[in-house]
């Protein structure tokens, strides 16, 4: 089985089958570029992902492993509203996979899925974060993202005033 070594920003190496890795658009391109530039067709590609740390990369690979037999969705597939196929494609396994995660980790997963071009993972993670913002009150968003209000004086009221002009006009 042909393998590829994928290295995270903090130096952790993951040995992955090329078949699995190629389900990421980015890794597929990197493997093909390596093949073109390498004289030795048996050489094992090594891909360094400088923007993704080990904890997140492991989660991406875990998701890819689980979905290895799903059809690959092109990253720029035309969609009517950009919501992707999250609702259609989200399985019980996906829900269990995301459930224990802090929103910070989910946001890191979004960036990783976007960078690695893993559309299915991008869709379900975006959907989760969208659900914490869409139609929510400010307090609900603060609670979901564990952020505290640190406005001083009438800053918050002024911000609402600026917003109101944009909403009403």
Residue 145 tokens read as: 């993202």
Asked whether position 129 contacts other proteins by CB under 8 A, the answer is yes
Q: How far apart are CA 14 and CA 98, in angstroms?
A: 21
Name which of 19 and 160 has its Cβ closer to other proteins: 160
Are the C-beta atoms of 8 and 54 separated by less than 8 Å?
yes
Residue 105 tokens read as: 């980790």
Nearest alpha-carbon partner for 9 in 84, 116, 144: 116
Write the binding mask 98 to 127 for other proteins: x where contact by CB under 8 A, - elsewhere.
Answer: -----xx--xx-xx--x-------x---x-
Out of 74, 96, 99, 100, point to the residue binding other proteins (CB under 8 A): 74
Asked whether position 35 contacts other proteins by CB under 8 A, the answer is no
User: CB under 8 A: which stretch of 13-21, 38-46, 89-97, 130-138 binds other proteins?
Assistant: 130-138
Name which of 8 and 97 has its Cβ closer to other proteins: 8
Q: How far lies 95's CA from each of 116, 128, 154, 155, in Å?
A: 21, 10, 41, 38
Asked whether position 156 contacts other proteins by CB under 8 A, the answer is yes
Asked whether position 41 contacts other proteins by CB under 8 A, the answer is no
Asked whether position 12 contacts other proteins by CB under 8 A, the answer is no
Containing 24, the helix (H) or strand (E) segment is none
Name which of 81 and 96 has its Cβ closer to other proteins: 81
User: What DSSP designation does 11 have?
Assistant: S
Shortest distance, position 47 Cβ to other proteins, whole Å: 17
Adjacent-strand bridge partners of 17: 3
Name which of 82 and 100 has its Cβ closer to other proteins: 82
Shortest distance, position 168 Cβ to other proteins, whole Å: 7
The sheet with strand 3-7 has its strands ordered as 13-17, 3-7, 46-48
* Residue 1: partners with Cβ closer than 8 Å, 6 or more residues away: 17, 19
Which spans of this chain sit near other proteins (rule: CB under 8 A)? 9-10, 29, 32, 51, 53, 74-76, 78-83, 103-104, 107-108, 110-111, 114, 122, 126, 129-130, 133-138, 141-142, 145-151, 155-156, 158-169
């Amino acid at each position: 089985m042909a393998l590829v070594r994928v290295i995270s920003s903090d130096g952790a190496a993951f040995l992955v089958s090329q078949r699995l890795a190629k389900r990421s658009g980015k890794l597929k391109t990197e493997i093909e570029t390596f093949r073109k530039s390498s004289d030795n067709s048996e050489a094992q590609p090594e891909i360094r992902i400088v923007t993704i740390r080990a904890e997140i990369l492991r989660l991406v690979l875990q998701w890819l492993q689980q979905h290895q037999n799903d059809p690959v969705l092109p990253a720029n597939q035309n969609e009517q509203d950009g919501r992707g196929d999250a609702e259609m494609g989200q399985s019980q396994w996906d829900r269990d996979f995301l459930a224990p995660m802090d929103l910070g980790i989910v946001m890191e997963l979004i960036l990783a899925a976007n960078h690695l071009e893993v559309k299915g993972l991008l869709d379900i993670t975006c959907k989760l974060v969208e659900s914490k913002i869409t139609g929510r009150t400010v307090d609900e968003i603060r609670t979901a993202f564990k952020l505290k209000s640190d406005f001083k004086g009438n800053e918050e009221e002024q911000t609402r005033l600026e917003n109101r002009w944009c909403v009403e006009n």
